Structure 1
Amino acid sequence: MGPSRGSTHFTATSTELTLNYGRVTANGIDFSYAEEGTGPLALLLHGFPESGDVTYRHLIPALAAAGYRAVAPNMRGFAPSSLPADGSMLLSDLVDDVNALHQELGGGADAVLVGHDWGAGMAWAAAATTPERWSRLVVSDVPPLRFFAAYSSTFEGIENLNHFWFFQMDMATETVAADDMAWLRRGLQEKWTAPGFDAGEEIDGMRKALGEPARLRAALDLYRTNFGPRQMGTPEWAAEHGRLWGSLPTQPTLYLHGTEDRSVVMDQQTLDAIGAALSESNSASEAAFVEGAGHIVPAERPDRYNELVLRFLTKEV
């Protein structure tokens, strides 16, 4: 499959892999993306404070070798994708971005959707609201809404997700930007990844994606506009999030979670409950832990993550 309408491409080569980088306009946003391979579309959605090509640097070539066109865009606001003209970082607009990317990249009914962290929420919502676009779903690190909501309201969840609440403060903008984003660098190295993992590439990707003040403000607005103190918990807020990602996907779905995740901490009982709920919607769905991984599963334990993803995508259902 060649470049989509209005996209431009160049090739970057490293010692590990060769990626094509392109741009495409979808839902009014000029998206930058990394891609490799030909075949059915596999759209890979990253989280905060990351970038698509870094988070999925190991999965992209594995999917390409398996016969997919793996495309990892940077979400709106994250450089070098464009900032939204209206400033919106609402989840509903992010989901519209996902579905527009499917259209502009030439995706068919056989397209696969992969999401991590914020990309997980986007994937749950896109798969539920436009199921005809996505044949299978792979999600990591943020479980379905009913499970995430239950966790985030516990003492442990509130403590471990403290960045959700800190980012609401006006002081957070200056604090997070200070000293080359030292707060986020420590988060990536000391909390959001497992002990012993070298988060250097994640930190470099963060610098490129969020190094400009307007980019960092947009990233913080993910939390301020979707989990703001004035609307969070209101009936209107609950209805909107329920509409977007309250339903479980009807497609075969694989949910993966790191055993060393210190942000969304999960035990076996909860993982089993997630697997059972997903299986009720589609009997081919699964849930599994990735041993030794923290919150950024695709990058931290790529061999095991890729193995589980490719086995799931190739199994008969």
Structure 2
Amino acid sequence: MKPSTFHSVESAWRVHVEPKWGKRAIGGVGHSEVQAWISGLATTHSATTVLRVHGVLAAILDGAVHDKRLTQNPARAVRLPKKQRGRRAYLTHAQVDTLATQSRYPTIVYTLAYTGIRWGELSGLRVRNVDTARRRLRIEENAVLVNATMHVGSTKTNEARSVPYPGFLTEALRTACIGKHPEDLVFGTGDAHARRPQSQDGWFASAVRRAQALDPTFPRISPHDLRHTAASLAISAGANVKAVQRMLGHASATMTLDTYADLFDDDLNRVSDALDRARSSSVVANLLPHDGPTM
């Protein structure tokens, strides 16, 4: 389990599950009581929090079922709140330029917006991972700040991947690597990882506010939204779902489609147009005169 995931799970146990169920005998936990508890939490907490809290309790009771201490899990088959996916913000090329020019770290903005790597992957990027000849970034590490401690480990999927970047970024990345050893970090000080900017008064939020002052249509975004922008720009440029999956490091193409289904609407339009053309060709063919049998 990744440190950030462990932190979330431990917090769910400590804040919600243990106070309610920690001293209860598992045989006394009833389905209706779990349902009432979950329904109550859903009125005061986000769906994400409720789902995580339920997952902790359900996993503990799953263990009791496997150990033959319970015949069935009373936390399963509970009605759970559904996450409401908000509308994503996708920047245009021009808006990425605006944000970058208003930012203290334009190379970071461009790298996130045109490669789709996660912040932790950018923070863990080392000089040896930058191949300017092939225009590739080798993503091998993820650096995440949890409780003021930087945890460095493998990527989210535990697999390294090669991510392409557009040619205009070559010089900026080469400059970021000047004077550094192969094991040094590209961003940050070289030996200390770049920390994610604060959400309200960090350099990224300040750049967004300046961009909004210049462009009233500029959306309110976080650094992670640049990952969505990268997917949008790649798809609009003609990248297929498999290429986008590899670029973003998703576990499967299905995950990419589920995450960015709205970006593939043009594919549906092409299917519709192709069917229309096929039908038209078929109808025209049937209307053409046919020679009768020769005598």
TM-score, reference length from structure 2: 0.26
Structure that is richer in strand per residue: 1
Which has the larger share of helix? 2
Higher gyration radius (CA)? 2
